[in-house]
A and B are shown apart, each in its own frame.
Chain A
Amino acid sequence: MASESQKLLSIRNLHVDFATDGRPVPAVRGIDLEIAAGETVALVGESGCGKSVTAMSVMRLTEGRIAAGSIHFQGRDLASFADAEMRTIRGGQIGMIFQEPMTSLNPVLTIGRQIEEVLVLHQRLSARAARAQALGLLQRVGIPAPERRILQYPHEFSGGMKQRVMLAMAIACRPRLLIADEPTTALDVTIQAQIMELLRSLKEEFGMAVLLITHDLGVVAHFAERVLVMYAGKIVEQGSVRDVFKRASHPYTQALLAALPDPLKPARRLEAIPGRVPSPSMLPPGCAFCARCAHAFEPCIGRQPPLFEVAEGHRAACFLRDGEGRGVEG
């Protein structure tokens, strides 16, 4: 418990199931995750690997059932909160932004009203104070002419501008933790960089921790301090960004990095990972990556690999890492 009170967010052995045809299908299969105050942690993985489910579980908004495990926020178990208390956490202590800024704002309300609603709700501001603060927030997230924009509707904003508005709403109550669920996936590359830069400056200004969920390794490398790689509902590798990118120790992470285009060697053919992600309803008994792994050997088939310590704070769930020394080339 001591470590949990030091950490801002601490997820222990989280399992989330979805009931499909009456049968529980596991989406998240026992992940551990810790975020210290002010830290930026990236959660990386393919679509459907359970990263968004993990994020929604932190907000207690997942449609699935939390089958096992616990989530502590500032030392308190989120499951123990009453619904009303949980609502003060959402938006108040934990902010969240989403992948699709285009559809994440209510089309029939003006931007101003939507921001003010959060302020009035969580900080009990008067309408006038909320308006003033909303203007300040819009200014802070880099929206030009906020006095005019605050009266406009979402359809009058571009995607990047909407994501800025979403950010303004998410940070309106100065949360301790911001969950960014693929914040730039739907945006142009140039806008992506602007939004990530904004996110970084907001994080520094407010001292927020950020849980960045993404499948874009480039964003991770530039933005995060620690990274956790997820595959089929489990963490397969975790460590500092430097360690994971320099000395990727799980074959899946290695394959992900190999699949990145290198602008300096344009002629190189991109490496795809052969095979497909196994369906969560038909997971193999052993390592879930086994069937696609070039290095698979006997123990991979029958048993699930635990996380082995590769270096200080750098762990990988691969039997190749069992007992040091047997390195994978590269």
Chain B
Amino acid sequence: MSIPIGPSPVLESPFPAHADAEALGIAETPAQQLWRTFRKDRLAMLGLYLLLALVVVALLGNLLTDFWVVFDPKAVRLPDKLLPPLSAASRALAKDLQPPFHRYPFGTDELGRNVFARMLQGSFVSLSVGVVAVSISLAIGVTVGGLAGFYGQRKLGPISVDSLLMRFTDVMLCFPTFFLILTVVALLPPSIYNIMIVIGITSWMSTARFVRAEFLALREQDFVTAAKALGLPEWRIIFRHMIPNAMAPVLVSATINVAHAILTESALSFLGFGVRPPYATWGNILADGRSYIFDAPWLFLIPGAAILTVVLAFNLVGEGLRDAMNPKLRKRAG
């Protein structure tokens, strides 16, 4: 719902939404309020558009590469190897190997595979690794942080639940994450799912800390006491009343964590521990291109630029969300 507002003395009010809703008599949900502020941040909006584009490309690309044989990222065309972007395909190719419009938009690699098709496939891998890994890390982080924050003062033998969980979190933080992932991935059978899971279970610690901090503050809030006084069961208080109120910083860090996960996956694939070839990911396209860095620079420039753009876009959106959710920063910006 778009609400017509002027360039607004309303914004300088310490309670913008309240004054606004009151004045116009229109109900504005917290989400609408957030969106209204977020929309004003041009960089964040740019990031959001890039991400939306990426989602469309990844989904479409996945369909194309799976079901349309001319987009097959595995198709080897030895006569056409190492062609620069936009060059025409040779006429000698069998008909079903011809790329669309007889052109390679991003060129070909050392086996004559269509880099455009490979990038499409890679975008889906990157995005799904990012989203699934962060979902896993959110699930673990919110649970651990929530338990530590809510039940922290309970004792389990000589130590409290809080110390137990948070010291475990500290231990996890002490591991050099990337090498831990490398080791685990080297031991496990190579599969994209293993990578998602491993990244997920090595990146939940910051979420857990955020959620715990929020819960410690929320637990003392009157509405939590009120919810208890109304006889709501603890799980309901935690999931319906506390977690939604604790999500703001978590959402911000999750967005930025997606960027981290994508980078980690790329790095793993680059080192050859990621998704097995011939399945394409941005990381292994980059790795393959490494040997032809002077002869075929597009082989590393294109995936490199893609990784850079996506990571940047996630970070911009994350920072935009953070600014929109933090009223103090909001005022400074305005």
**A contact residues vs B (CB 8 Å cutoff):** 59, 61, 84, 86-92, 95-96, 98, 100, 103-109, 117-118, 121-122, 148, 151-153, 155-156, 166, 169-170
Given A87-B231, A91-B232, A156-B28, 16 more A-B residue pairs with CB atoms under 8 Å apart are A59-B228, A86-B231, A90-B229, A91-B229, A92-B231, A96-B229, A104-B222, A106-B223, A106-B227, A106-B245, A108-B244, A118-B232, A121-B233, A151-B27, A153-B30, A156-B22
Q: Do A89 and B222 touch across chains, with their CB atoms under 8 A apart?
A: no
Q: Please report the number of residue pairs spanning A and B whose Cβ atoms sit closer than 8 angstroms.
A: 84
**A90: B residues at CB distance < 8 A:** 228-231
**Nearest-Cβ distance from residue B31 to partner chain A, whole angstroms:** 9
Given contacts A152-B27, A153-B27, A155-B17, contact A104 B231 (CB under 8 A): no
Complex Cα distance, B244 from A107, in Å, reads 10
A selection of 24 A-B contacts at a CB cut-off of 8 Å is A59-B228, A61-B225, A84-B233, A87-B231, A87-B233, A103-B221, A103-B223, A104-B222, A104-B225, A106-B227, A107-B245, A118-B231, A121-B231, A121-B236, A153-B27, A153-B30, A155-B15, A155-B17, A155-B18, A156-B18, A156-B22, A166-B226, A169-B226, A170-B230
- Partner among A91, A107, A151, A169 whose Cβ is within 8 Å of the Cβ of B30: A107
Specify which chain B residues have a CB less than 8 angstroms from the CB of A87 in the assembled complex: 231-233
User: Chain A residues near B229 (CB, 8 Å)?
Assistant: 59, 61, 90-91, 95-96, 98
Cβ contacts under 8 Å, B21 to chain A: 155-156
B28 surroundings in chain A (CB, below 8 A): 156
The smallest beta-carbon distance between B113 and chain A, in angstroms, is 49
Nearest Cβ in chain A — how far from B224, in angstroms? 8
Chain B, 20-66, CB within 8 A of any chain A CB: 21-22, 27-30
Cα A315 to Cα B22 with chains together (Å): 51
Name the residue in B17, B18, B229 with the highest tally of chain A Cβ atoms < 10 Å from its Cβ: B229
Cross-chain contact A98 with B225 (CB below 8 angstroms) = yes
Closest to A118 in B: B230
Are B226 and A104 interface neighbours, CB within 8 A?
A: yes
Q: Please, which residues of chain B bring their CB within 8 A of the CB of A86?
A: 231
Which of chain B's residues has its CB closest to A84's CB?
Answer: B233
**Do A91 and B222 touch (CB < 8 A)?**
no
B81 interface hit (Cβ, 8 Å) = no
Give A156's nearest chain B residue, CB to CB: B21
Q: How far is the CB of A61 from chain B (nearest CB, A)?
A: 5
> Are A98 and B232 in touch, CB under 8 angstroms?
no
CB distance from A165 to the nearest CB of B (A): 11
A117: chain B residues within 8 A (beta carbon): 232, 236, 240
B241 to chain A, nearest CB (A): 5
Complex Cα distance, B225 from A98, in Å, reads 9
Closest 9 CB pairs of A and B: A91-B231, A90-B231, A91-B230, A96-B229, A87-B231, A103-B222, A104-B222, A104-B226, A108-B244
Considering only CB atoms, which chain A residue lies closest to B229 in the complex? A96
| Cross-interface CB contact of A89 among B27, B29, B226, B231, cutoff 8 Å | B231
Within 8 A of A (CB), among B203-234: 221-223, 225-233
Residue pair A104, B230 in contact (C-beta under 8 Å): no
In the bound complex, how far is the Cα of B28 from the Cα of A307, in angstroms? Answer: 56
A92 to B229, CA, bound (A): 10
Residues of A close to B17: CB separation below 8 A: 155
**How far, in angstroms, from A89 to B22 measured CA to CA in the complex?**
37
Contact B231 A108 (CB under 8 A): no
Taken together as a complex, chains A and B put the C-alpha atoms of A226 and B84 apart, in Å, by 92
Q: Is the CB of B18 within 8 A of A104?
A: no
- The reply to whether B228 and A61 contact each other, CB–CB distance below 8 Å, is yes
* Contact yes or no, A100 B222, CB < 8 A: yes
CB-contact partner of A122 in B231, B236, B244, under 8 A: B231
In the complex, residue of chain B having the shortest beta-carbon distance to the beta carbon of A88:
B231
Inter-chain CA distance A87–B17, complex, in Å, is 35
Among A105, A106, A117: residue with most chain B CB under 10 A: A106
CA distance A169 to B223 in the complex (A): 12
Docked CA distance A317–B21 (Å): 54
**Which residues of A lie under 8 Å from residue B245 when comparing CB positions?**
106-108
In angstroms, how far is the closest chain B Cβ from the Cβ of A94? 8
**Most chain A beta carbons < 10 A, residue from B221, B227, B230:** B230
* With A103-B222, A155-B15, A155-B18 as contacts: A108 and B30 at CB distance below 8 Å: yes
Report how far A84 CA is from B228 CA in the complex, Å. 12
Q: Which B residues are in CB contact (< 8 Å) with A107?
A: 30, 223, 245
| A105 & B223 in contact (Cβ 8 Å cutoff) | yes
A92 and chain B: residue at smallest CB distance:
B231
CB-based nearest B residue for A99:
B222
Q: Bound complex: CA of A152 vs CA of B29, how far in Å?
A: 8
A84 to B244, CA, bound (A): 24
User: Within B244-292, which residues are at the interface with A (CB < 8 Å)?
Assistant: 244-245
Please indicate the chain A residues that have their CB under 8 angstroms from the CB of B27 in the complex.
Answer: 148, 151-153, 156
CA distance A118 to B241 in the complex (A): 13
B222 to chain A, nearest CB (A): 4
**In the complex the two chains form, what is the Cα distance from A49 to B17 in whole Å?**
38
Closest to A89 in B: B231
